[in-house]
Amino acid sequence: MWVADTEFPAPKPILAALQKTVDHGVFGYELPTPALKETVAARMDKLYKWKVKPESVVATTGIVSGFNIAARIACSPKKGVLMQTPVYNEFHEIKNNAGVAQLNAPLIKRVVGNIISYEIDWDIFEKQVKKVGMFLLCNPHNPLGIVFSRKDLLKMAELCIKNNVLIVSDEIHSEVLLADNSFTPLAKLSAEIAKHTITLVSPSKTFNIAGLFCGFAIIPNEELRKRFELEVSHLTMYVSSMGLIASQAAFSGKCDGWLKEMNRYLTGNRDFMVDYITKYMPNVRTTIPVATYLGWLDFTQTAVKDDPFNFFLNNAKVAFSDGKIFGKEGEGHVRINFGTSRALLKQGLDKIRNTLDSQ
């Protein structure tokens, strides 16, 4: 219940497109076609009424590659990267990959009963954003399952633009929406924001094709896009033909029925998990994510406080993601992936409950 992919087979249109390529039998070099860029742009228009020019789309080998490339062009030894912790563990590797400083603006944790939620600490954010070259936003947020409000997005963008800070918005989970929640890309909010933003999207998490390593950077600012493309070229980060083909099928619209069903099932899994924890493990605190298939569990009020990751791995044979990899605020916490069958989710929760009861 750890790594952030699902256990659902990819949609049939994707499998058919890949199979057609296999049957063709030739696996030569391929570059992103104009048709693929048009498909990505059309996807943004269909989902969000966001008008993106196809030439603004740059293929990458994934979202992680995308924000590491962005850090190389936006940051310096004196101007690092800002992030809101606890946050996706790969964000924390930028400081090593790009050799830049990492600054944090930790989110404020709120607790009501056994439900936890998070909000932006504006004082810290405003202080830290003055010291960086890039703000890396995770929206929807991994591991907290937050979709930031329009008001919050506008304020974050305003502070970044005021301080000449590049905004990089990781929106990889933007189509995994639970209980009919909606999503708006940050760059869609205004032309001025779009000018200062690199938006990172991919079908990988949505359609369970992460292993094909294909994502897209949407960069309306031509000067910024050229700098990004030049860095991609320097690093020779070319996307595999299978990733390009799968992405074309995924964003074509032919898989949208499948996606609607998956989101409905994931919503049921989320509700089952929260209800189960509230009923049987009231000392365990949990988020109620509105997006993603990732929950965030707090064991600091239980007998298991220091290292729940190793405790449950060794005693319950359940593997989570260790909360500490998301930042120091994750100590005593774990991330749980509920993108699986209801039966397997229940089995995992039963193991956790029985192990806690034996303490």
pLDDT digits (tens, 9 = 90+) for 36-95: 999 999 999 999 999 999 999 999 999 999 999 999 999 998 999 999 999 999 999 999
- Calculate ∠ Cα 48-53-56, nearest 5°: 105
Q: Kindly report, residue by residue over 112-151, the tens digit of the pLDDT.
A: 999 999 999 999 999 999 999 999 999 999 999 999 999 9
State yes or no: pLDDT of 12 exceeds 80.
Answer: yes
- 53 and 165 part of one domain: yes
Residue 12 lies in a domain: no
**Confidence (pLDDT) at 90:** 98
Burial zone of 110 (CB within 10 Å; 0-12 exposed, 13-18 middle, 19+ buried): exposed
User: What pLDDT, on the 0 to 100 scale, is given for residue 358?
Assistant: 93
Single-letter amino acid code for the residue at 153: L
| Average pLDDT in the chain | 97
Q: Same domain, yes or no, for 238 and 311?
A: no
20 domain-assigned: no
Q: What angle do CA 259, 295, 180 make, to 5 degrees?
A: 40
Pair (218, 114) in one structural domain: yes
Q: Which domain holds residue 101?
A: 28-250
* Cβ 74 vs Cβ 143: under 8 Å: no
Task: Determine the pLDDT at residue 306.
Answer: 80
Mean pLDDT value across residues 307-318: 97
pLDDT of residue 300: 96
Q: Are residues 129 and 235 in the same domain?
A: yes
Indicate whether 265 and 219 sit together in one domain: no
305 pLDDT higher than 80:
no
**pLDDT at residue number 343:** 98
User: What radius of gyration, in Å, describes the C-alpha atoms of the chain?
Assistant: 20
The pLDDT of residue 294 is above 80 = yes
In a domain, 349, yes or no: yes
Kindly state whether residues 138 and 177 are assigned to the same domain.
Answer: yes
Residue 359 has a pLDDT of 86
Task: Please tell me whether residues 236 and 328 are part of one structural domain.
Answer: no
User: Same domain for 292 and 207?
Assistant: no
Domain end residue (candidates: 250, 279, 301): 250
Residue 288's pLDDT is 98
Cα dihedral 245/248/251/252 (nearest 10): -130
Same structural domain for residues 350 and 270? Answer: yes
Task: Say if residue 80 is in the same domain as residue 133.
Answer: yes
| Same-domain check for residues 63 and 109 | yes
- The CATH number that applies at residue 105 is 3.40.640.10
Does residue 350 carry a pLDDT above 80? yes
Domain end position, chosen among 192, 225, 250: 250
* pLDDT score of 184 more than 80: yes
Residue 70 maps to a domain:
yes
Residue 7 located in a structural domain: no
Taking the C-alpha atoms of residue 228 and residue 193, their distance in angstroms, rounded to an integer, is 18
Q: Give the pairing type, strands 294-298 and 333-337.
A: antiparallel
18 lies in a domain? no
Please say which residue of 204, 221, 250 terminates a domain. Answer: 250
Per the structure, how many domains does the chain have? 2
DSSP 25: -
Percent of the chain with pLDDT over 70: 100
Say if residue 293 is in the same domain as residue 168: no
Q: What is the pLDDT of residue 40?
A: 98
